[in-house]
Amino acid sequence: MTYVVTEDCIKCKFTDCVEVCPVDCFYEGENMLVINPDECIDCGVCEPECPAEAILPDSDSGAEKWIDLNATQSNIWPNLTEKKEQSSDAEEYQGVENKFEKFYSDKPGE
């Protein structure tokens, strides 16, 4: 088992999860994070830290469609090892539906 980041992260991109990850397996896109499944040690400490509730175990029924995205993008996007300030409008995007279709970007983070 590993953990995945879902569309709830899009446009929120809180990085509280990054701060607690013992193996630095988070990667940053322009408007979301992903987890590298080959680096994740399945400790689960990131899941409760996410204010957007965007992190799920890959065995969760809602995680299935995010497994490939996390694996693919974590091999392209830069590694993120420290907490960053979220965007000023991050809280406005919490709970918005269909964020992948509306806002997803495959561009790497800074």
Q: What is the pLDDT of residue 49?
A: 97
Residue with tokens 């992190």: 55
pLDDT in tens, 41-67: 999 999 999 999 999 999 999 899 999
Q: What is the pLDDT of residue 93?
A: 96
C-alpha–C-alpha distance, residues 105 and 62, integer Å: 20
Half-sphere exposure of 42 (CA within 13 A, CB side): 6
* Confidence (pTM): 0.95
2 — pLDDT class (breaks 50, 70, 90):
very high
Tokens for 8, please give them. Answer: 């709830």
SS3 category, 8: helix
pLDDT in tens, 11-48: 999 999 999 999 999 999 999 999 999 999 999 999 99
